[in-house]
Amino acid sequence: MTETPQPRSTCPHCGTIVAEDVLSCPQCQTLIYSEWLETLAARAQHLEEVKLWADARDLWLAALSKLPHASRQAEWTRNHVQQLDAVLHATDAPAIPQKQEPQLSPRWRKWLGPLAPVAVVLIKAKGLLLALFKLKFLLSFAAFFGLYWALYGFWFGLGFAFSILVHEMGHYIAVRRLGMKAELPVFLPGFGAYVRWQMTHVEPDGSLRVATLFESAQVALAGPIAGMLCSAGFFGLYLATGQPAWAAVAHAGAWLNLLNLIPVWFLDGARAADALNKVHRVLLLLTAILLGVLLGQGGYYLVALGLGWRIFFTKDAPEHGSNRVMVVFVLLLFALGLLFGFAPMRAVR
């Protein structure tokens, strides 16, 4: 199974002609040797189940030769090889003596008296305390909320932080529904937040599953969809209470979700546009320009500029795009437009 596969000159998914040294299709991003890699991954997984760590490691290293170096699949494979190296090192190392339960010396027991049992419990709980300090999610969220509380007041800070949380949890839930691994959101005060997830997953049968362009677009759009619904909820809260902060949160949330749909760089719109062909992108560009003219919102022009870049200056449009992604993208633009039209940007101080 470790022999090099026969060179391929066409993409197994869309049939695009590629050079022999190309490892992923420039049109649809499919791995050129995906079938061979899946078989190799299944074989390696089986070897790991029977604890043949060294043989499994060799197969994963062989897989790296046919994975783009900067791809998520290659990154996952390199990390997995390091894990296997650690297992091999631990297997060859001498037996490690059992860890002794934490105890207090007689001297400390005498000094602490009745508090000695409490001290022992705290020593045993140090692992739990360390785990609490590793909760990047809660700590970063608190810092994010604190910044906007200090700048714009408690209610706007709370609502704005919550709307960003809902947006990121949209991504997180979408990834988990696909059966892939994702970390809880990490917040960057003053910048935004992100969810880290793996586009590869080893199935129970040992096969290596790679997220498709459509699945990646689903994950990308799940965040703006959740964010739009959250902004609509805050607008409803504003209508019910008359609290200006809720109108400001609704408007700001709609604005940020629109900016996230610009199809460039690491923004959500970039992943969504990956699943759109040139016809889809042109129609979406015209829609963004129309909404920009009707609503007078400059954010739509930024979306249109990004789409223009993806149409005329990149060659990453798949031959067969996703109609479903196109429809969801258009509906999102219209829904955000409704929020701009009805939710005023009220002063919060």
pLDDT tens digits for range 157-186 = 999 999 999 999 999 999 999 988 899 999
For 99-126, the pLDDT digits (tens) are 454 555 555 455 545 555 544 555 555 4
State residue 231's pLDDT score: 96
pLDDT at 196 over 80: yes
pLDDT above 90 as % of the chain: 48
266 touches 309 (CB < 8 A): no
pTM above 0.75, yes or no: no
By CB neighbour count within 10 A (0-12 exposed, 13-18 middle, 19+ buried), where does 22 fall? Answer: middle
By CB neighbour count within 10 A (0-12 exposed, 13-18 middle, 19+ buried), where does 147 fall? Answer: middle
Residue 219 CB coordination number (10 Å): 25
- Which residues are paired to 10 by β-bridges? 17
Angle CA 173–179–181, to nearest 5? 75
Q: Which of 8-17, 44-53, 102-111, 264-273 has the highest mean pLDDT?
A: 264-273
Mean pLDDT score, 44-50:
79
CA pair distance 114, 138, nearest whole angstrom: 35
State residue 32's pLDDT score: 80
Lowest mean pLDDT of 28-32, 133-137, 201-205, 344-348, name the range: 344-348
State residue 8's pLDDT score: 80
* Residue showing tokens 């209508």: 239
| Cα–Cα separations (whole angstroms), residue 45 to 51, 85, 92, 253, 255 | 10, 15, 21, 44, 46
* Residue showing tokens 């297992």: 87
For 278-315, the pLDDT digits (tens) are 999 999 999 999 999 999 999 999 999 999 999 999 98
Residue 83 CB coordination number (10 Å): 12
Half-sphere exposure of 275 (CA within 13 A, CB side): 23
